Amino acid sequence: MTSCGVTSTNTNRNEFEYVFSIQGQIYHKIGSLLSMLNDDHKFLQIYFIGNEEQEIDQRCTKFNGLRRKIIQDIQRILHKYNQLIYIFRTTLDRLISDDYKIVVRADKRPCREHERRLNSHQTDEVAIVIVDNENTSCDIIVQRRRKGLQRIAEKHRSYDALQYPLIFLHGEDAYHFNLKHIHPETGIETNKKVTSKEFYAYRLMIRDNEIYNHILNTRRLFQQFLVDMYAKIEAERMLYIRLNQETTHRRIRPSFIQPSRRDHK
């Protein structure tokens, strides 16, 4: 549903190995729900063509060798179960003009559930607003029809589901900055925030009581997802260093440096 861009890519393919590597920053961008007049439908816009056969045709023309029956089955599953597609489709009918927008809030907690449950989106997480309304920089704002692309903040809870709908079939919430640790004995939420490294290490871990972890079995898509999420971890780490330069400087001060007389005073 979103496009993935990087500064430089290096994808190596041979008979036995597939490697997805990047150099620089990864970013995701999203366009409008409907294409401009006389333009082809791309990414998210393909879901709202309104005709199943035309939707399949558009996907099959983008990539060679796709099996039409498989594409049809995947389309039907996504339209039926993916909550993000459902939200966009139902809200699109209520947009009066191109000046109105669909806003997916970054700080909205799943309805009737705790944040850590990673629930799928609910319909009341979306609001229709006019252009002049204020929104945070982390909100996803989708317009009915416009030129250009909008960059999505990697800390938004829908960042992963929009880029990897086949991995997150229901449009589940993923990592975000307000995710808190839970005390293992009491089950009570603590004040300590979960880091992206902790979150994705937990999601990718192989456990004895789990029969199947579908993320680990998505083959080439898993390679891209892994690199993408690692880039997110590094971006969060660099952001912390930038916002906490004085604290970080004191923490990494070499122990062999002797304090001056002024320090003693």
Where helices occur in the chain by DSSP H, the ranges are 52-62, 68-81, 83-92, 159-163, 196-204, 220-243, 245-251, 261-264
> According to the model, what pLDDT value does residue 19 have?
74
Return d(Cα 136, Cα 142) in angstroms, integer: 14
Residue 134 — very low, low, confident or very high, per pLDDT cuts 50/70/90?
Answer: low
Residue 57 — very low, low, confident or very high, per pLDDT cuts 50/70/90?
Answer: very high
Q: What is the mean pLDDT of the chain?
A: 79
Supply angle C-alpha 230, 233, 234, rounded to 5.
90
Mean pLDDT of 61-71: 87
- Evaluate if residue 95 carries a pLDDT over 90: no
State phi, psi for 145 to the nearest 5 degrees: -150, 125
At position 142, the amino acid (one-letter code) is V
- Evaluate if residue 104 carries a pLDDT over 90: no
Dihedral angle sign, alpha carbons of residues 194, 197, 199, 205: negative
Q: Is the separation of the CB atoms in 83 and 171 below 8 Å?
A: yes
Q: Using alpha carbons only, how large is the chain's radius of gyration in Å?
A: 22
Dihedral angle sign, alpha carbons of residues 202, 205, 209, 213: positive
Mean pLDDT of 67-83: 94
Of 52-56, 66-70, 136-140, 203-207, the one with minimum mean pLDDT is: 136-140
Q: Is the separation of the CB atoms in 227 and 20 below 8 Å?
A: yes
Mean pLDDT of 233-243: 84
Q: What is the pTM of this model?
A: 0.77
Q: Is the separation of the CB atoms in 122 and 98 below 8 Å?
A: no
